[in-house]
Amino acid sequence: MKPMYKKVLLSLLLLPFSILAQGTLNGIVQDNTGQPLPGVNVVIQGTTTGSSTDFDGKFALPNLKQGDVILFSFLGFKNNTLTYSGQKNVIITLTEDASELQEVVVVGYGSVKKKDATGALTNLTSEQLNKGPVVSADQMLQGRVSGLQITNAGGEPGGGALIRIRSGSSLNANNDPLYVIDGVPVDTGGGGVEGGRNPLANLNQNDIASMTVLKDAAATAIYGSRASNGVIIITTKKGKSGEMQVTYNGNFQVSEIVKTVDVFNGDQYRSYVNAHGSVPQKAFLGTANTDWQKEIYRTALGTDHNIALSGGTDNIVYRTSVGYTNLNGLLKYDNFERTTLGANVTGNFFDNHLKIELNNKTTAMKNNYSERGAVGAAIAFDPTQNVYQDNAFGNYYQWATNGAYEVNASRNPVAMIEQKHNFGNTYRSIGNAQFEYKIHSFEDLKLIANFGYDYASGRAYGNTDADYVVTAEAGSAYRRTQANKNQVMDLYFNYNKTAESLNTNFDFTGGYNYQDFRYENNSYNFDAVNNILNPGIPSKERLNLQSFFGRATITIADKYILNGSLRADGSSRFTKDNRWGYFPAAAAAWKINQEDFLKTSTIVSDLKLRASWGITGQQDTGARYPSYPLYRSSTSTAAYQIGYNPDGSPIYVQTYTPLAYNQDLKWEETETLNLGLDFGFFNDRITGSVELYKRKTNDLIVYAPNPQGVNFSNGAFYNIGNLENKGMEVSLEAYPIKKEDISWRIGANITFQNSEITKLTNSDTPGFAGYNVGGISGGTGTTVQNNQVGFAPNSFFVYEQAYDANGKVLDGVYVDRNGDGIINADDKYRFRKPSADMFYGFNTDFTYKNWWISMSFRGSYGNYNYNNIFSNFGNQAQALPSNGNYLSNAHTSILDTNFSAPRYESDYYIQDASFLRMDNVTLGYTFKNVFTEGTTMRLTGAVQNVFVITGYKGIDPEVQNGIDNNIYPRPRTYTLGLNVNF
């Protein structure tokens, strides 16, 4: 035992010296050009003890012991290590990790280093996307990308959005961008399938790794016919080698209504009718004070959960996730339920020469759609009546005379949502298998085969109670089914070779793409009262796209980049003479910061000038056979009697209707010029870009009237116009503070845009008034917008309202603009437009130790709405109807205008809809090493739709296409969230 005592005694004697031997290491971390790197993680390997470099790349690491291994790591650079042996000051150099940077930006049929990109694009990782209670992929981008404008259809859970990149390139054809999910172009046309709300809600937001927005032709032309409106590439999260990691994300939400339509309450309406109504109208008044909007809206609860497992070996990695979302809408009984399953496996075989990637995203959704007509009925229904009454209409108060309902009266909104039942179930699966083979002994050449699919099916169904007030609807039921199948095949190669003697890199890609779309629809209506089944007309349609494409990129001395691409697209929508379209693009970039006069600059870290030109195509008219003469069979109720059977029963023959077509229809083409400047200062502590673009669409596909007696229809699709868009985009991101325990990031973007129709007929037609569009609620066939040469698309086309000397509006009096003494359609003029002159976004994140807060704002300027609520409900004919035995509530704007009747086409109703909205504020705290070493838990609290500043008089300034008519209110949502990683 004596030797043991001696060892212990010796250790105790040496302990003070070992403590004194602990030292502090000071140093600088730089890149291979000598530029300091801020934000580098400096950690003692095997521990959580560490620091990070400051703005000048400096760090200090105290309490080091001899033999400690220090790890230096930074995104986009290879790790470096240093063994401590008493050094005082060191300089550490990190080299770029080319393989990691190559994956930063995914583009069409490949990837590119962000700093080598020649096109206009924006890439956001999952950490940079929007926070808060996000349900759909489009909501993650809102306000984050210059040139990208997203307008939700309203506040219904899982609802769709109007998404535009650099405005729309077409008037009548599809203006939606192309979405590519893990290499599969998905079909978003027509709002998805029957029973669905938003096709982009099929993808669980927790599974998204990054989203890349391609904006100019240089970036999008490789996708050809489907890229004229830009491309959004979505990449889902993949597994990493190592032990299995488990991630849980969940939240609980409470949503409330922010604002309701300003109509009379019961007392106000009684006073108005008593002051202005007739004796019978006064007799109709009730004694209640019912707030019908309060009766149909509620405080809505929701929850969202997602759990993911990931891991793998050096050769095979995996990730799988399961998600569940259940959200109630503000409208009573409205509900959105979603279950998602995501899985991907990536394997590398034969010494990393063969890479196989399998992806699948499957979603099942259930929807309970409360009757949307209740939103308008809650505005119009008499507030002096009670909700319920003993009667034959389910005991809901309804306007009826002698037991028969008043056909012109509004329906009880509570009855509408409780007696009319609408449901929808959808299933969607998106997946692919990609094989990438690197040729042995010729490893610069890769062969890629991608086989993908997008299958969706849906069923919408519902029924109306037998005692509903409207006889034609009472006891009815319906069912509509739809199935969409999209199959894709890509076969292409990539050759990437650096010629060291020429200091030049060559990157070539070429291949073939095949896409096949199949659509099936069917419907049934059932009259339970009379026991009659009315089947609809089943349809089966098919669309086929085939393409050949190629791209070449040459990079000289890592300074000068030349890029060119060509895609040939064939579409079955066109006849063989017009089937193929050819879409070239060319781009060049100069990395000025790599020149000798800037290469050693401590201020400029990135400076790249870009220029591009290209043409993209458009063929998506919505109709799948617009160029072919076809007939459509009629329903069973539209048969023609040709005689009688021997037993005396009539003989019917089903009729067929010829459909409109234009055999000369051809590709719509969009030509784009883009000039861009990317910049970075102080080792990219400040980064940004400026874009100038001009886009001209030729041979616009427009649905135009047919000459009388031609083509069996009122209209058909023709190539008869040109549209020009131009604008400027500015993006900026900065880190004013970036230290170990505290950091502050600011991001901002602003877009200026202008659109003008430059041609709208095949030949010059002076004085052509254009085409009326923008139908509104009220009147018969009333429109308030017009497309004409020299003006923005969908410009408002109305009468100029007249005012008295005191500025008070004059009822039914308009300005005689042409001075002919007659007020008619010749006096209408184009006044304002729904598209914004400028829109912007601002977001910021602030972190202090384990606390963090993020905020996001966005807004627009110069956009106008037509307030259809005012025009419909703000007049005396609405408040005091004379076409039946009933009353109807009115908007309080009637007190300002005193309009005796609807003045639908007055410019009085066109209102400035510019706004500033705070979309989200999120506060969080991260607990580290909660359960085991490396485990983190983050708690968050968030508010969505915090406030909006606007002069618009409706309930919300954001409406699609500039016409505000009974939108589903956007809620303010409060969220508590939990994220756990272990």
Tell me: the pLDDT tens digits for 596-611? 999 889 899 999 999 9
Please check the confidence at residue 722 and state whether its pLDDT lies above 60. Answer: yes
The mean per-residue pLDDT over the stretch 700-729 comes to 84
151 in the same domain as 33: no
Residue 109 lies inside a defined structural domain of this protein: yes
Report the range of poorest mean pLDDT among 162-166, 189-193, 382-386, 944-948.
189-193
Confidence of residue 950 (pLDDT cuts 50, 70, 90): very high
121 in the same domain as 89: no
126 in the same domain as 72: no
More confident residue, 181 or 98: 181
144 in the same domain as 48: no
All residues at 6 or more sequence positions from 876 whose CB lies less than 8 Å from its CB, including other chains: 276, 890, 894, 898, 899, 900, 901
Reference 733, options 2, 215, 144, 60; nearest CA is 144
Half-sphere exposure of 532 (CA within 13 A, CB side): 8
Query: Could you identify the residue written with the tokens 């990782």?
Result: 125
Question: pTM of this prediction?
Answer: 0.86
Report CA 7 to chain centroid distance, whole Å.
71
Confidence of residue 97 (pLDDT cuts 50, 70, 90): low
The mean per-residue pLDDT over the stretch 50-75 comes to 86
Please check the confidence at residue 146 and state whether its pLDDT lies above 80. Answer: yes
The mean per-residue pLDDT over the stretch 698-724 comes to 82
Q: Rounded distance, CA 680 to CA 683, Å? A: 7
Q: What is the pLDDT of residues 858-879, one digit of tens each?
A: 999 999 999 999 999 999 999 9
Please tell me the predicted confidence (pLDDT) of residue 8: 44
Structure tokens at 177: 């961008």
Please tell me the predicted confidence (pLDDT) of residue 6: 46
Please check the confidence at residue 76 and state whether its pLDDT lies above 80. Answer: no
Residue 873 lies inside a defined structural domain of this protein: no
Confidence of residue 11 (pLDDT cuts 50, 70, 90): very low
Please check the confidence at residue 756 and state whether its pLDDT lies above 90. Answer: yes
Do residues 136 and 201 lie in contact, with contact meaning Cβ atoms separated by under 8 Å? yes
78 in the same domain as 188: no
Residue that is last in its domain, among 39, 71, 96:
96
Residue 165 lies inside a defined structural domain of this protein: yes
86 in the same domain as 191: no
As a whole number, the mean pLDDT across the chain is: 89
Percentage of residues in the chain having pLDDT higher than 70: 93
Please tell me the predicted confidence (pLDDT) of residue 9: 44
The CATH number that applies at residue 195 is: 2.170.130.10
Please check the confidence at residue 654 and state whether its pLDDT lies above 80. Answer: no
Do residues 939 and 975 lie in contact, with contact meaning Cβ atoms separated by under 8 Å? no
Structure tokens at 762: 């095949």
Half-sphere exposure of 673 (CA within 13 A, CB side): 7
137 in the same domain as 83: no
157 in the same domain as 39: no
Residue 190 lies inside a defined structural domain of this protein: yes
Residue that is last in its domain, among 184, 209, 236:
236
Q: What is the DSSP string of 407-461?
A: TTSPPPHHHHHHHEEEEEEEEEEEEEEEEEEEPTT-TTEEEEEEEEEEEEEEEEE
Please tell me the predicted confidence (pLDDT) of residue 706: 78
More confident residue, 794 or 630: 794
Please tell me the predicted confidence (pLDDT) of residue 836: 96
The mean per-residue pLDDT over the stretch 19-27 comes to 72
The CATH number that applies at residue 48 is: 2.60.40.1120
Please tell me the predicted confidence (pLDDT) of residue 623: 85
76 in the same domain as 195: no
Please check the confidence at residue 738 and state whether its pLDDT lies above 60. Answer: yes
Q: Rounded distance, CA 248 to CA 936, Å? A: 11
Report the range of poorest mean pLDDT among 101-110, 331-340, 461-470.
101-110
Residue 930 lies inside a defined structural domain of this protein: no
117 in the same domain as 50: no
Domain count, the chain: 2
Q: What is the pLDDT of residues 958-976, one digit of tens each?
A: 998 999 998 999 999 999 9
Please check the confidence at residue 12 and state whether its pLDDT lies above 50. Answer: no
Q: Each residue of 665-698: b (16+ CB within 10 Å) or e?
A: bbbbbbbbbbbbebbbbbbbbbbbbebbbebbbb
Q: Rounded distance, CA 603 to CA 477, Å? A: 70
Residue 724 identity = E
Please check the confidence at residue 389 and state whether its pLDDT lies above 70. Answer: yes
- Residue span of the structural domain in which 51 resides: 21-96
Please check the confidence at residue 543 and state whether its pLDDT lies above 80. Answer: yes
177 in the same domain as 60: no
221 in the same domain as 172: yes
Parallel, antiparallel, or unpaired for β 335-349 and 404-405?
A: unpaired
Residue 156 lies inside a defined structural domain of this protein: yes
Q: How many CB atoms lie within 10 A of CB 345?
A: 18
Please check the confidence at residue 191 and state whether its pLDDT lies above 50. Answer: no
Residue that is last in its domain, among 96, 113, 129:
96
Please tell me the predicted confidence (pLDDT) of residue 20: 42
Residue 537 lies inside a defined structural domain of this protein: no
Residue 170 lies inside a defined structural domain of this protein: yes
* Segments of 788-914 assigned E as strands: 795-798, 801-803, 809-814, 829-830, 838-848, 851-861, 864-867, 910-912
